């Protein structure tokens, strides 16, 4: 009950000093508008942007069937991809270097044989050659995996195939072109901005003497941080509503569940709150809180691939499985799930594998932030 009173107090104080609250609430909505004018004003369908070259080396019939399946893939009842089979590898590489296509998909010789065997431990290995600096290449690498996964599932009966595409890059190289692809990333960016909001809020409470007054009223640290967390969840939900509503006004079309999107957003907001508490442990004023919060915001948003697909960064191999940097960030799984829900209309029965790591990693970061803040900050008011 005390946590509810603290949550109410926190929300009322935010409304009395609304500048920071307004910035937090409308920041992702402004990004949505920016994305709309940059990528959403064209009447072109995806296939005019997503051009994929295919080198079909398969000696059986399933390679040709996959090519046809990619050609027939649709998004909003419009063709998703323009598929062109290549005759010369040199010509294909020139096309990629000039950004006239998003990638070159190579179907291996044993593609049909491997699918016919349907051995989950030995999935087919396809290769997508692309330029990492090309926006359309990054967009393509995300969008074409859905029809590819559906094709493999239909031929093998696997429920969730392992990653079967290896990404390689054009030698010598190191536009997100669709509004709908960008909106899920903006949602994650907006929630991650809550790291800064939480840190500044806590720093102001400390410097204003609010914590000392609350402790004199015999309110425990758990009540205090629990109330602030509840207030943050409410503010986060309002932010997501504003962001999705703005996207809908700008023409966003989605068959996905808003409740499912909100579920992932609220769970991920625990990450932002926990990281905000950690930031507030080492900040003495608003400026320091804003600067230090970037240590968490930038990796959560950009290294996770929430805004732009990132090449995998391997960290360690455990029990034969490679752990990548993105695997350590709940934003990776939250962004992927929200994108699947919004773009493909998937439900909880298909995105629950993303929900579990979001819950585990978010709760761990939240508990870490809570313990650190109690030990480094609240202990002085005992």
Q: Do both 65 and 6 map to the same domain?
A: no
| Residues 35 and 82 placed together within one structural domain of the fold | no
Q: Are residues 320 and 209 in the same domain?
A: yes
How many other β-carbons are positioned within 10 Å of the β-carbon of residue 353? 11
Shared domain check, 231 and 158: no
The H-or-E segment that residue 323 falls in is: strand 321-324
User: Global pTM?
Assistant: 0.67
Contacts of 305 (CB under 8 A, 6+ apart): 326, 332, 335
Both 67 and 18 in a single domain? no
Ranges of H-type helices in the chain: 2-16, 18-35, 62-72, 89-97, 111-117, 135-143, 145-156, 179-192, 194-207, 210-216, 221-249, 258-280, 286-298, 330-344, 348-376
Q: Is residue 345 in a domain?
A: yes
| CB 107 within 8 Å of CB 114 | no
Domain boundary among 142, 169, 196: 169
Q: Per the domain annotation, does 174 fall within a domain?
A: no
Q: Which of 169, 190, 216 is the last residue of a domain?
A: 169
245: left (phi over 0), alpha (psi -120 to 50) or beta: alpha
Number of structural domains the chain divides into:
2
**Residue 144 sits in the same domain as residue 268:** no
Residue 166 binned pLDDT confidence (cut-offs 50, 70, 90):
low
Are both 206 and 253 inside the same structural domain? yes
User: Could you read off the pLDDT of 136-159 as tens digits, one per residue?
Assistant: 676 777 777 778 888 888 888 776
Q: Is 188 found in the same domain as 322?
A: yes
Instruction: Using DSSP, state whether 173 is helix, strand or coil.
Output: coil
Co-location of 140 and 184 in the same domain? no
Query: 206 and 83: one domain?
Result: no
| Residue 87 burial (CB count, 10 A) | 8
Q: Within a domain: residue 124?
A: yes
What CATH number does the domain containing 152 carry? 3.40.1710.10
Q: Are 103 and 141 in contact (CB under 8 A)?
A: yes
Residue 153 to residue 95: CA distance in whole angstroms: 31
Long-range contacts of the stretch 69-75 (C-beta < 8 A, 24+): 69/147, 69/150, 69/151, 70/144, 70/147, 70/148, 73/144, 73/146, 73/147, 75/45, 75/46, 75/143, 75/343
Give residue 282's domain range. Answer: 2-39+179-381
In terms of domains, do 83 and 34 share one? no
The verdict on residue 44 lying in a domain is no
pLDDT digits (tens, 9 = 90+) for 96-134: 776 678 888 999 999 999 888 888 778 888 888 877 656
- Give pLDDT tens digits for 199-231: 999 998 888 877 777 666 677 767 888 888 999
Given 134, 169, 204, the domain boundary residue is 169
70, 144, 304 from 149: Cα distances, Å:
11, 9, 22
Are 186 and 157 in the same domain?
A: no
């Amino acid at each position: 009950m005390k946590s509810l009173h603290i949550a109410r107090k926190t929300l009322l104080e935010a409304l009395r000093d609304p500048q920071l609250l307004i910035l937090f609430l409308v920041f992702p909505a402004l990004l949505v508008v920016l994305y709309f004018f940059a990528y959403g004003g064209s009447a072109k369908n995806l296939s005019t942007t997503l051009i994929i070259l295919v080198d079909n080396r398969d000696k059986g019939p399933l390679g040709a069937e996959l090519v046809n399946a990619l050609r027939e893939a649709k998004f909003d009842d419009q063709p998703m991809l323009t598929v062109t089979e290549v005759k010369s590898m040199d010509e294909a590489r020139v096309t990629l270097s000039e950004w006239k296509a998003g990638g070159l998909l190579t179907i291996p010789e044993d593609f049909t044989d491997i699918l016919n065997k349907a051995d989950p431990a030995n999935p087919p290995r396809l290769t997508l050659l692309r330029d990492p600096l090309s926006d359309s290449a990054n967009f393509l690498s995300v969008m074409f995996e859905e029809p590819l996964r559906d094709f493999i599932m239909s031929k093998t009966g696997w429920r969730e195939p392992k990653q079967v595409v290896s990404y390689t890059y054009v030698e010598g190289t190191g536009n997100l072109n669709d509004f709908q692809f960008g909106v899920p990333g903006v949602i994650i960016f907006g929630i991650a901005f809550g790291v800064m909001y939480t840190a500044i809020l806590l720093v102001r409470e400390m410097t204003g003497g609010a914590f000392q007054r609350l402790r004199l009223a015999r309110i425990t640290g758990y009540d205090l941080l629990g109330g602030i967390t509840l207030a943050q969840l409410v503010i986060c939900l309002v932010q997501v509503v504003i962001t999705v509503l703005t996207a809908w006004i700008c023409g966003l079309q989605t068959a996905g569940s808003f409740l499912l999107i909100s579920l992932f957003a609220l769970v991920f907001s625990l990450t932002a709150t926990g990281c905000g508490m950690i930031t507030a442990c080492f900040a003495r004023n608003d400026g320091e809180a804003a600067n230090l919060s970037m240590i968490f915001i930038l990796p959560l948003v950009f290294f996770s691939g929430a805004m732009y697909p990132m090449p995998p960064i391997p960290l360690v191999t455990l029990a034969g499985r490679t752990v990548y940097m993105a695997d350590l960030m709940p934003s990776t799984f939250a962004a992927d799930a929200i994108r699947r829900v919004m773009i493909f209309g998937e439900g909880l029965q298909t995105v629950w594998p993303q929900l579990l790591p979001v819950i585990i990693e978010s709760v761990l970061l939240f508990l870490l932030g809570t313990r650190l803040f109690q030990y480094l900050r609240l202990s002085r008011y005992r």
